[in-house]
Amino acid sequence: MSTTRTIEVRQLARVEGDGGFSIRVRDGRVRDVKMNIFEPPRLFEAFVRGRHYAEVPDLTARICGICPLAHMLGASQAMEAGLGIPVSPAVRALRELVFLGEWIASHSLHIHLLHAPDFFGCDDVLALSRDHPEAVRRGIRLKQVGNDIVRRLGGREVHPVNLRIGGFYKMPSMSDIDALRQDLEWAREAARETVQWTADLTFPDFEQDYLFLALHDPEDYAVLSGRLLASTGEKMAIGDFETFMREEQVGHATALHGLSRQHGAYLVGPLARFNLNFSQLSPGARKAAESVGLTPPCGNPFKGIIIRSVEIMHACERALLLMDQYRRADPPGAETAPFSTTGCGCVEAPRGVCWHRYRLDERGNVADARIVPPTSQNLRSMEADLHAFADRHQDLKPDRLAWQCEQLVRSYDPCISCSSHRINLQTTRGT
């Protein structure tokens, strides 16, 4: 006699946005897995059409309140590439510095407030803080250090106002830069402690064979520049991304699924960056990872919490180096007359590759837009991971299995609001 049961989490906790998942098991085998993204689509690609190109970075920043700079800088790079707007080395360095602030804030939030409670059997960070108050305080202060970088250099913590296409409205003074140094030096050591703290956690035995994709730069741990690199060895220019991937619409999600045209599901984010760019990490971050036995290859998504800690340390060391090398750009930005063109931009958001493409008309207004955020690229891998994990752990009690599957999804730090692009449209033709 056939038996069927369903493991369902209707509303995921401790993620950004609204979503859930269902796993259907029949005769002891997982038969179907769905990541149910039911948050309404944001429609940013539609409402930027007709807007002047200079408005787009500020508009797309509103896609997300956690990583607004990722979208702002992705859109800016696309316009600069299409219009040939020069960006000085000083501007590029300052952009990286402020973006690293977003990395520190985002990773600290995810590690301490969203993901760590899972490892201690806690429902939320309030419960975690009762037994591990020092770790929680450290995480909150780390997040504040990141926020302070964005606020001081970008004008405010969320949706900063000092950045624009071609550069900045105002370059910070040396005193502005120096004011960040003491907190960043503290954050570097706090990140080192966080690497050790997270490495001491107990992780499920779950190694997956992923196709990784990340920005890659031979000299630096790529954040804002480089070429796209896949773990197959394939390299491509930013503008060739659409030859690598395609998007597929599914009935159970308001988000498109990103797929490699040749290989299907692929993974972006900290695990991909770590495996593809380990040798480009800052010396201290690389040493910290090696000290806890974390080196490539690593295919356990649960260990993303350690990798994010390593990336915080890298961000702190890199930020301090950029501060030592800081020079004010004069002028703070560049402009050009608009013309009909197409441009692409790509950055490494904390959650992975974030890609923008815009086609402009002769007046510089947006004729077409395409935005591919990290979470939509990871959705198919999330479903594959849930399928494999549930299949291997049929012996767990249903509530325990559901808990660990939730933890597995949270290990991706999915930004569901960023990924929601599709809308169902049904028409009825009258007689």
Annotated binding residues for Mg(2+), written as ranges, equal 45, 371, 421
For residues 20 and 9, is the Cβ–Cβ distance under 8 A?
yes
Residues contributing to the annotated binding site for Ni(2+): 64, 67, 415
Alpha-carbon span 214 to 178, nearest angstrom: 32
Binding residues: 45, 64, 67, 371, 415, 418, 421
Please list the alpha-helical segments (H only) found in 221-303.
Answer: 241-244, 270-277, 283-291
User: Which helix (DSSP H) or strand (DSSP E) does residue 161 occupy?
Assistant: none
3-state secondary structure at position 421: coil
Known binding-site residues for Fe cation equal 67, 418
Which residues face 227 on adjacent strands? 216
Q: What is the CA radius of gyration of the chain?
A: 21
Helix (H, G, I), strand (E, B) or coil at 345: strand
Contacts 24+ apart (CB under 8 A), 390-399: 390/7, 390/23, 390/25, 390/30, 390/33, 391/29, 391/30, 392/206, 394/25, 394/28, 398/5, 398/7
